[in-house]
Chain A
């Protein structure tokens, strides 16, 4: 359990920075097909923003409900990734061969592009949840609720 940071400056700067960091993480995730970035980096940036809420507002506050909720999503990213692979097998393709899924209005390159996007989202969810989960595992409190 982590106690809240007691500096008002840190609180205000975090409130300003937090949406920017999360938006940048999502941007990196979705821009990964066109520039540097991708699921791994986007997931780490988003996870770092969740860790920042935990560190600044403390484990008992309401501002980090997203970080607490994320702890219950352990393994969701892996299910998304492997589920896309399994979907390809259901439509009689090889495992993770995205073009096997028949989507109306999508030619095989577009389907592959969509599959890449889906697996990147899976990787990002997995990385973000794992980073917040490791931080939660590493932090436990003494009687006064301080980080020891």
Chain B
């Protein structure tokens, strides 16, 4: 029953990802990429992680689409006809073999929701048992992000701040 919910979403993901690559018009490609992020958010929600789904929907299909469109409006995209060469056969073959190898490697991954998997066996039970009584926070994801792993989140915030400062230094050409 899980697979029948997954399958349409995965097909939509593949179609939108291929569309974003194939479409010639850049604005169309950006919009298709936004819908790809939205389907990915639906996938996360279906797999039971609403926090990741929320972030993916807001950042992936909202904010990054807006920023892509802004960047496109500022530049003049030009098509170079000489770059329209066919893909060499060895590139296609190599990518195909690489994909098969990745699928082969994915066989060894633990099954979804496996309680014996290393990610679920060591620290996760401690978080689930103790986060409510230690910090009055029913949402375990927020408790992990903002308290157990707070230093990581601080550095992530610093990364976002650095990105904003770098954009301002490189691109800002007017007095605001």
Chain A residues proximal to chain B, CB less than 8 Å: 1, 28, 32-41, 44-45, 47-48, 51, 68, 71, 74-75, 77-78, 81-82, 85, 95-96, 98, 108-110, 112-113, 115-116, 119-120, 122-123, 126-127, 129-131, 133-141, 147-148
Contacts and interface: CB of A to CB of B under 8 A. Distances in A.
Contacts of A140: 74, 172-174
A1 B49 CA distance: 39
B55 to A, nearest CB: 6
Interface stretch (B93-101, B109-117, B121-129, B156-164): B156-164
Given A40-B55, A131-B63, A138-B70, A109 B133 contact: yes
A127 B154 contact: no
B120 interface: no
Contacts of B40: none
Interface of B: 50-51, 53-55, 58-59, 62-63, 66-67, 70-71, 73-74, 133-139, 141-143, 145-147, 150-151, 153-154, 157-158, 160-161, 163-165, 167-168, 170-174, 176
B163 A134 contact: yes
Nearest to A80: B157
A77 B138 contact: no
B161 A138 contact: no
Nearest to A114: B136
Given A51-B66, A122-B157, A33 B139 contact: yes
B63 A109 contact: no
Contacts of A115: 146-147
B172 A137 contact: yes
B154 A82 contact: yes
Contacts of B134: 108-109, 112
Contact of B139 (A34, A110, A131): A34
Given A78-B157, A130-B164, A120 B66 contact: no
B168 A96 contact: no
Contacts of B70: 135, 138-139
B11 to A, nearest CB: 26
Contacts of B133: 109
Given A33-B139, A47-B63, A116-B142, 17 more contacts: A32-B142, A33-B137, A38-B51, A38-B141, A40-B55, A74-B164, A75-B165, A77-B157, A113-B136, A116-B137, A122-B157, A127-B157, A134-B67, A135-B67, A138-B171, A141-B174, A148-B73
Contact of A139 (B51, B62, B74): B74
Given A134-B167, A135-B66, A126 B157 contact: yes
A54 to B, nearest CB: 11
Listed residue (B59, B67, B147, B151) with the most chain A CB atoms within 10 angstroms of its CB: B147
B176 A71 contact: yes
Contact of B153 (A37, A45, A75, A123): A123
The 8 closest A-B pairs by CB, nearest first: A130-B164, A112-B135, A36-B50, A113-B136, A137-B171, A116-B146, A96-B150, A138-B70
